[in-house]
Copies of this chain bind each other. A is one copy, B any other.
Amino acid sequence: MSLTRRHALGAAVVAAIAPTIVRQGQAAQPPAANQAPGFYRFKIGDLQVTAINDGVAFRPLDGFIKNAPEAEVRQALAAAFLPSDKMTIPFTTLVINTGSKLVLLDSGNGDLGAPTTGTWMANFKAAGFDPANVDTVLISHFHGDHINGLRLKDGTAVFPKAEIQVPAPEWAFWMDDAKMSAAPDGMKPAFQNVRRVFGPIAKDVKQFEWGKEPVTGITTISAPGHTPGHTAFAIASGNGKLMAMSDTTNNPALFARHPDWAAVFDMDGAQAAQTRRKMLDMAAADKMQVSFYHAAFPATGFIAKDGAAFQMIPASWAPTI
């Protein structure tokens, strides 16, 4: 085919009849199909911590913040350089190798989350972990995105050898059949899901109180409001300290700046805001490293006071552990 002839044809026609010619204009390197694996390691004293991403979910803005007009929420999202037409909710769990135990803090969405989630196991394995090696899972609270990773839709227990430890007040609330009966219809599935996950192992689940150390180096911290038994975890080793804030905030890009906003998932909005301010104040005062379950991956950083509010400063990515 002559050059003149080729020029006379539309590009689509050329592509259809002469792919090798068109390919000359393409990079030898094809575009990549996948993002880098979603894990990131860091040390807290002698402990090795690995953040594991479980994707991201999006929620309509309508009704998401219970006590602020949608226009203000849109503005705050834009100021955080997030899409302003929806709520962006990332999921990141922590794996802690204490040397004597491999510990998970929460378990991700399993196979029951939004289609843009559910990448936890692939990322966990990409990080070199084996679910059969998990010794202990500490659960912050009983919302599905934190517990569904324990048990697949088909009933399979995901961490066959792990001891499961949960907040005693959380267990008391969600396993109370009277509370399930009294709950509004919209909340009943959450109660049922708790039974789906924990029912088959109810007698083996260990309950912890706040202020205890269920695993050496990991202390449970009272943080109620988001749910009645919502728990944060202080991880300490040597001079290192990390506060795993769990759902003390939803995405801190929004809630550190607006600590008094109540997300639709906060069961007691006022108590959640009180806990949030207390925890963020403490993190800022102590300049301690923090992790948030719903911050952008790797979801760890620091809290700076900013007027009457706060700001999360992501930790600088380190090329070595």
Question: 1/0 contact trace for A1-37 toward B, CB 8 Å?
Answer: 0000000000000000000000001111101111111
CA–CA, A253 and B102, complex, Å: 34
A26 touches B102 (CB 8 A): no
Total copies of this chain within the assembly: 2
Smallest distance from the beta carbon of A183 to chain B beta carbons, Å? 33
In the complex, whether A90 has a CB less than 8 A from a CB of chain B is yes
In the complex, whether A171 has a CB less than 8 A from a CB of chain B is no
B32 touches A41 (CB 8 A): yes
B29 touches A130 (CB 8 A): yes
Smallest distance from the beta carbon of A298 to chain B beta carbons, Å? 7
Question: 1/0 contact trace for A75-101 toward B, CB 8 Å?
Answer: 000011110000010100000011111
CA–CA, A126 and B36, complex, Å: 9
Q: Residues of B contacting A88 with CB < 8 Å?
A: 316
CA–CA, A80 and B314, complex, Å: 10
A50 touches B32 (CB 8 A): yes
Most buried by B among A25, A29, A50, A127: A29
Question: 1/0 contact trace for A59-82 toward B, CB 8 Å?
Answer: 000000000000000000001111
Q: Beyond A26-B100, A97-B31, A99-B26, is A317–B296 a contact (Cβ under 8 Å)?
A: yes
Q: Residues of B contacting A101 with CB < 8 Å?
A: 27
A36 touches B28 (CB 8 A): no
Smallest CB gap from A303: residue in B: B81
Q: Residues of B contacting A82 with CB < 8 Å?
A: 316
B321 touches A32 (CB 8 A): yes
Smallest CB gap from A96: residue in B: B27
In the complex, whether A287 has a CB less than 8 A from a CB of chain B is yes
Q: Residues of B contacting A35 with CB < 8 Å?
A: 40-41, 318-321
B41 touches A36 (CB 8 A): yes
In the complex, whether A167 has a CB less than 8 A from a CB of chain B is no
In the complex, whether A135 has a CB less than 8 A from a CB of chain B is yes
In the complex, whether A245 has a CB less than 8 A from a CB of chain B is no
Smallest distance from the beta carbon of A24 to chain B beta carbons, Å? 9
Smallest CB gap from A42: residue in B: B35
Q: Which of B33, B90, B102 contacts A27 (CB 8 A)?
A: B102
CA–CA, A218 and B6, complex, Å: 27
| Beyond A32-B41, A35-B318, A88-B316, 8 additional pairs, beta carbon < 8 A | A25-B100, A27-B135, A28-B135, A29-B129, A79-B304, A81-B302, A297-B317, A314-B314
Q: Which residues of A come within 8 Å of B, CB atoms?
A: 25-29, 31-41, 48, 50, 53, 55-56, 79-82, 88, 90, 97-102, 116, 119, 126-130, 132-135, 253, 287, 296-298, 301-302, 304, 313-321
